[in-house]
């Protein structure tokens, strides 16, 4: 069985090449100078692989379509790279050693001290933080299709449906709109499943009175989107569900209004914690001392995950501390912001009327020169709008 292949995001970012059994070498041609050679190693255009899986680009295609200076068949990778390593003219050698066993074998066969081998992934991660106009356009498309899928699902959700039926509806919209794969495995968590952050099964039948949390995203041209909505299965939030959702909603809107270049993620995260703990205490949903809950980090009982993450080639794109230790937002970053509250069965600090009620709202957001753009703004988050869409 040949399963769906997706290239390493590091490799794809550098090459745009999507076939299996491929490698790239970028090397100085003048030691200490600026001469650079881009060499690719790919599958040959004839042979067993082509018979089974169809045409491939081959070395000629790697040069013509992907800008390689030269290209060879993949079976020459080991001997060629070993000769470069053993030439003695290179200092540090960067590779995606942690991602690729082939590289490890080449390094071992070269007999070279691995102390000079460094990870290229960390360097590329720093480049991936700020998106180009092309990348932003691809993420925008992925988000638009995700919104279409959500809208169709919200229109059709009702008691008696199974979680996997919701996933099927959304996946059909993706496939019909140019997205061959999802950004990540869909999460459709209803009833008691809603308190499981990455609930995988999707097999439960949704009941009247349940909440359902859907975490979903399309991949378009290898770029992703990430959205979450929390919905009442019967189309109307109960009093308790509404109370929890409103805390998350008001926090979400307040945090987004502060997004701009120069703002620290940590500032927004801490404010998000304070706002939600204040809301939970004020509404009598939890008990305890505000200062103690925050200083002891007991808020993890109710707010167990982070506030935001970058989105790009991976749905959790890199946000490396090496490039940005304080995680300062910058223009042309794209991030998913996802404030959330999870209230667990049996937690004695939680009013039992609220046990197993959870809410999360997640939007994909572009940081602009003067603030932000919510790429998923057409997908409702207000209670009245959600309930109207579900009727």
Q: What is the DSSP string of 34-65?
A: S-EEEEEEE--SSSHHHHHH----HHHHHHHH
pLDDT in tens, 361-382: 999 999 999 999 999 999 999 9
The mean per-residue pLDDT over the stretch 247-252 comes to 99
- Give the residue among 365, 358, 359 at the shortest CA–CA distance from 379: 365
Give backbone dihedrals phi and psi of 342, rounded to 5 degrees, phi first: -125, 125
- Give the residue among 355, 360, 390 at the shortest CA–CA distance from 230: 360
Domains of the chain: 9-127 (3.40.350.10), 130-390 (3.90.230.10)
pLDDT in tens, 294-339: 999 999 999 999 999 999 999 999 998 766 678 999 999 999 999 9
| Cβ-Cβ contacts under 8 Å for 348 (sequence gap 6 or more) | none
The residues that bridge with 227 in the sheet, in sequence order, are 216
Give backbone dihedrals phi and psi of 37, rounded to 5 degrees, phi first: -120, 135
The mean per-residue pLDDT over the stretch 144-168 comes to 98
Return the pLDDT at 320. Answer: 86
Return the pLDDT at 53. Answer: 77
Return the pLDDT at 187. Answer: 98
Whole-angstrom Cα Rg for the chain:
24
Kindly tell me if the per-residue pLDDT of 169 is higher than 80: yes
pLDDT band at 40 (very low <50, low <70, confident <90, very high): very high
Numbers of helices and strands, H then E, in the chain:
12, 17
Helix 383-390 to helix 133-156 angle (10° resolution) is 60
Q: How far apart are the first and last CA of the chain?
A: 43
| Cβ-Cβ contacts under 8 Å for 53 (sequence gap 6 or more) | 2
Lowest-pLDDT range of 12-16, 32-36, 84-88, 325-329: 32-36
Does the pTM surpass 0.85? The reply is: yes
Return the pLDDT at 322. Answer: 63
Helix (H, G, I), strand (E, B) or coil at 168: helix
The mean per-residue pLDDT over the stretch 270-291 comes to 99
Kindly tell me if the per-residue pLDDT of 269 is higher than 60: yes
Return the pLDDT at 3. Answer: 85
């Amino acid at each position: 069985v040949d399963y769906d292949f997706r290239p390493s995001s590091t490799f794809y970012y550098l090459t745009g090449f999507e076939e299996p059994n491929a490698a790239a070498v970028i090397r100085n041609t003048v030691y200490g100078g600026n001469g650079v050679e881009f060499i690719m190693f790919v599958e040959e255009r004839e042979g067993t692989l082509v018979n089974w899986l169809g045409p491939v680009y081959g070395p000629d295609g790697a040069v013509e379509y992907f800008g390689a200076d030269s290209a060879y068949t993949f079976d020459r990778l080991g001997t060629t790279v070993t000769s470069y390593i053993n030439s003695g003219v290179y200092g540090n050698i960067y590779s995606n050693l942690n991602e690729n066993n082939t590289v490890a074998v080449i390094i071992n066969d070269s007999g070279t001290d691995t102390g000079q081998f460094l990870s290229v992934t960390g360097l590329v991660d720093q480049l991936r933080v700020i998106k180009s106009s092309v990348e932003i356009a691809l993420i925008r498309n992925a988000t638009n299709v995700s919104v279409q899928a959500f809208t169709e699902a919200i229109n059709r959700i009702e008691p008696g449906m199974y979680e996997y039926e919701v996933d099927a509806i959304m996946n059909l919209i993706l496939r019909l709109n140019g997205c061959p794969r999802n950004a990540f495995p869909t999460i459709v968590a209803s009833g008691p499943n809603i308190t499981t952050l990455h609930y995988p099964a999707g097999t439960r039948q949704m009941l009247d009175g349940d909440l359902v949390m859907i975490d979903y995203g399309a991949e378009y041209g290898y770029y992703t989107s990430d959205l979450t909505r929390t919905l009442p299965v019967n189309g109307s939030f109960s009093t308790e569900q509404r109370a929890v959702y409103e805390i998350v909603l008001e926090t979400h809107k307040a945090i987004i209004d502060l997004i701009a270049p120069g703002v620290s993620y940590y500032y927004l995260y801490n404010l998000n914690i304070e706002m939600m703990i204040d809301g939970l205490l004020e509404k009598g949903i939890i008990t305890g001392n505000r200062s103690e809950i925050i200083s002891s980090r007991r808020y993890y009982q109710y707010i167990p995950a982070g506030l935001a993450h970058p989105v790009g080639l991976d749905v959790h794109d890199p946000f490396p501390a090496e490039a940005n230790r304080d995680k300062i937002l910058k223009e042309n970053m794209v991030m998913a912001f996802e404030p959330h509250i999870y209230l667990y069965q049996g937690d004695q600090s939680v009013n039992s009327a609220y046990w197993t009620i959870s809410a999360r709202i997640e939007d994909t957001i572009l940081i602009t020169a003067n603030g932000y753009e919510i790429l998923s703004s057409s997908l409702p988050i207000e209670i009245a709008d959600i309930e109207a869409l579900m009727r």
